[in-house]
């Protein structure tokens, strides 16, 4: 007993107090209710997504791969990342491809043959990407398959295209989507140009708060039903759109700077016809922004690149790649003289 008492007497009497103090770890930052709800939603989302994918499996509308979790639009992130982006080389007015050899760089203010011969009524046209690959698939999914939630992501891409006009176009513009005829609108039940335009304006309100963009979807009307322009030539497209557009109220566009919005720009016949109507109605200027555009090639250049033209036999001492570059240069010179 004495030994135990001696040992207890030698040990220091220390009292440990465990206290919960979270204030020292907060750095005087008040707790956020939004962050708490986001944390709860993040925890609950994963098992709910797994359960939903097990009971109701969904595949990507473009590539067919199973979706790992919930999406507003049934398009996977991999397909969105594969959308081709339009490079900066092109016509300074319409953005179309220039007949410039691959080994040469086109001047910044160079115009294509169509804009030189017949300048459009608009100031400049910009686009986000090429109408090819996943971009074409996503637009078709929106227009023909009725996947309207895809307009939100496409509208974000359109906002990036409109941002290219920063420093060139006025900060205050009237945004007019290319309208559909009432018969086409009744068949589709929505205008894809208006959908992507509204989502683009929401994003631009955050990225460019100094811009004042107002959506006016009823300022321009399609008064005549036109044929589908998919299989029409450029001249047939121009004739098909003659008299197709009209301004609903002249006072709405008189003296205003207009931003035309469309999903696709191929030959440019649609935006040319619409911009001409707006300028004739008194618009101060017209700018064009599209989600995608198709690149055109000179017919002879296209035939040469596809190997459709009869070319002389390659000499044994000429490298095939150099011979192809020389033939493309000759086609460029021929087109420049003919224009």
Is there a single domain that holds both residue 112 and residue 49? no
53-67 pLDDT tens trace: 444 557 888 888 888
Q: 327: domain range?
A: 299-338
User: pLDDT value at position 140?
Assistant: 93
pLDDT class of 70 with cuts at 50, 70, 90: low
Mean pLDDT is lowest, of 163-177, 228-242, 246-260, 270-284, for: 228-242
User: pLDDT value at position 86?
Assistant: 85
Number of domains in the chain: 3
User: pLDDT value at position 227?
Assistant: 79
Is there a single domain that holds both residue 177 and residue 306? no
Q: What number of other Cβ atoms are within 10 A of residue 31's Cβ?
A: 8
**Model's pTM, two decimal places?**
0.71
- pLDDT, mean over the chain: 76
Q: Is the pLDDT of residue 166 over 60?
A: yes
Is there a single domain that holds both residue 170 and residue 253? yes
Asked, for residue 14, whether it belongs to a domain, the answer is: no
Is there a single domain that holds both residue 192 and residue 266? yes
Asked, for residue 326, whether it belongs to a domain, the answer is: yes
105-128 pLDDT tens trace: 555 578 888 899 999 999 999 999
Q: What number of other Cβ atoms are within 10 A of residue 128's Cβ?
A: 25
Please name every residue paired with 126 in a beta bridge, in sequence order, or none if there are none: 289
Q: Is the pLDDT of residue 175 over 90?
A: yes
Asked, for residue 30, whether it belongs to a domain, the answer is: no
Asked, for residue 15, whether it belongs to a domain, the answer is: no
Arithmetic mean of pLDDT, 203-215: 96
| Last residue within a domain, chosen from 70, 86, 113 | 70
Token pair, residue 293, equals: 């555009």
Is there a single domain that holds both residue 330 and residue 289? no
Q: What is the DSSP letter of 59?
A: B
Q: Identify each DSSP E strand in the chain by its residue range.
A: 125-130, 172-177, 212-215, 220-222, 245-247, 257-265, 285-293
How far is 295 from 302, CA to CA, in rounded Å?
11
Arithmetic mean of pLDDT, 176-200: 94
Is there a single domain that holds both residue 190 and residue 238? yes
What residues have CB less than 8 Å from 223, skipping those under 6 apart? 181, 243, 244, 245, 246
Asked, for residue 124, whether it belongs to a domain, the answer is: yes
Asked, for residue 19, whether it belongs to a domain, the answer is: no
Q: Which of 225, 230, 229, 239 is nearest to 273 (CA)?
A: 239
Is there a single domain that holds both residue 193 and residue 250? yes
């Amino acid at each position: 007993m004495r030994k135990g008492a001696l040992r207890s007497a030698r040990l220091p009497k220390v009292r440990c107090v465990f206290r919960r103090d979270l204030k020292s770890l907060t750095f005087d930052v008040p707790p956020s209710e939004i962050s708490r709800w986001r944390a709860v939603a993040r925890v609950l989302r994963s098992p709910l997504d797994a359960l939903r994918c097990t009971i109701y499996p969904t595949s990507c509308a473009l590539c067919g791969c199973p979706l790992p979790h919930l999406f507003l639009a049934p398009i996977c992130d991999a397909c969105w990342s594969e959308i081709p982006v339009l490079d900066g080389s092109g016509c300074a007015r319409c953005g179309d491809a220039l007949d410039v050899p691959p080994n040469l760089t086109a001047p910044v203010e160079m115009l294509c043959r169509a804009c030189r011969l017949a300048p459009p009524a608009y100031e400049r046209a910009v686009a986000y990407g090429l109408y090819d690959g996943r971009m074409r698939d996503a637009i078709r999914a929106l227009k023909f398959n009725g996947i309207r939630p895809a307009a939100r992501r496409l509208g974000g891409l359109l906002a990036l295209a409109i941002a290219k006009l920063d420093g060139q176009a006025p900060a205050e513009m009237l945004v007019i989507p290319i309208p559909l005829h009432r018969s086409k609108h009744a068949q589709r039940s929505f205008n894809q140009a208006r959908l992507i335009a509204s989502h683009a304006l929401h994003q631009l309100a955050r990225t460019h708060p100094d811009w004042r963009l107002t959506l006016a979807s009823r300022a321009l009307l399609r008064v005549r039903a036109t044929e589908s322009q998919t299989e029409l030539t450029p001249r047939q497209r121009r004739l098909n759109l003659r008299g197709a557009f009209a301004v609903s109220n002249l006072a709405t566009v008189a003296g205003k700077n207009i931003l035309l919005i469309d999903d696709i720009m191929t030959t440019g016949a649609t935006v040319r016809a619409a911009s001409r109507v707006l300028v004739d109605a008194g618009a101060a200027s017209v700018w064009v922004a599209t989600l995608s555009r198709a690149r055109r090639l000179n017919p002879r250049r296209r035939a040469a690149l596809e190997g459709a033209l009869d070319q002389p036999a390659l000499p044994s001492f000429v490298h095939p790649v150099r011979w192809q570059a020389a033939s493309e240069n000759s086609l460029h010179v021929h087109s420049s003289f003919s224009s």
